[in-house]
Homo-oligomer: A and B are copies of this chain.
Amino acid sequence: MDNEDILNLDPVVHAPHRLAILTILISVKSATFMYLKDATGMKDGNLSTHLSKLEEAGYISIMKSFVGKKPQTACAITEKGRGAFLDYLDQMERIVKAQKVK
């Protein structure tokens, strides 16, 4: 029973770096690439890869714009991403609780 929950954990959310990114995006309207980089301590390439994976899953949207002449990338969690993240938390809460009561 526990095992089903564990083996069904959404791999897109479960990866620690992506979990860290979603944890930030869930509580803000949007965050810039630079902000996410600072907050997670990730390198450009690694952060880009994880953002692409989240975008491919439809969990975040990535918006490119200019601030003055500087290009800026901002990310926001989508409704689908919010749902996936909250489902993941519920699942993980059940997994932890099931162990703690033992």
Residue ranges of A at the interface with B (Cβ–Cβ < 8 Å): 2-3, 6-7, 9, 11, 14, 16-17, 19-20, 23-24, 26-27, 39-41, 89, 92-93, 95-96, 99-100, 102
Contacts and interface: CB of A to CB of B under 8 A. Distances in A.
Give the copy number.
2
B26 A16 contact: no
Contact of A16 (B6, B17, B23): B6
Contacts of A93: 96, 100
A11 B16 CA distance: 9
Tell me the interface secondary structure of chain A in the complex. helix
A7 B20 contact: yes
B26 A3 contact: no
